[in-house]
Copies of this chain bind each other. A is one copy, B any other.
Amino acid sequence: MRIQFDPIGIIHSPYKELKGMPIQPKGAVGIKGRVEVFEHFREGLDDLEGFSHIYLLYHFHLSRGVDLRVIPFMDSEQRGLFSTRAPKRPNPIGLSIVQLDRIENGVLYIQNVDILDGTPLLDIKPFAPQFDAQEHVRTGWLEKAGTSVSGRRSDDRFR
């Protein structure tokens, strides 16, 4: 059973290539970008500006192939793909929580952008701690890696 999606917009960012990109929005604080939502879908943006943070779901459009075991940027050991956010996934869907500054004429002005320029947008959802915050969280191999995501940068490994 194949599932077909069409982009609803395009994400613009300063990052023209994978190498040197921040590896998470937390490593991209202050980095600005824009999301151009196609005209046909703009009516659905009403009320979104009330939210300071949003989920962007997008297509890792440059990702080719699947690696079920990867060495994440934040580790030195191989890990199972689904315990990572690496892009070479069976369904290469990216997920980033970005800060929404404002919306003008169907364009979302965003910050904390860790996304490649030209990335096809699949969906936007509001970020809401009353739904999304969790207590008593364990984070497996990431706990050893610490919280030092901010300085890490991408290299070519997931091209």
Contacts and interface: CB of A to CB of B under 8 A. Distances in A.
Given A43-B68, A131-B26, A83 B141 contact: no
How would you classify the secondary structure of chain A's contact residues: helix, strand, loop or mixed?
mixed
Interface string A9-41: 000000000000000111000000000000001
A44 B57 contact: no
B93 A126 contact: no
A147 B132 contact: no
Interface residues of A, number: 67
A9 B84 CA distance: 18
Interface of A: 1-8, 24-26, 41, 43-55, 57, 59, 68-69, 79-85, 89-91, 93, 95, 97, 99, 120, 122-134, 136-143, 147, 149
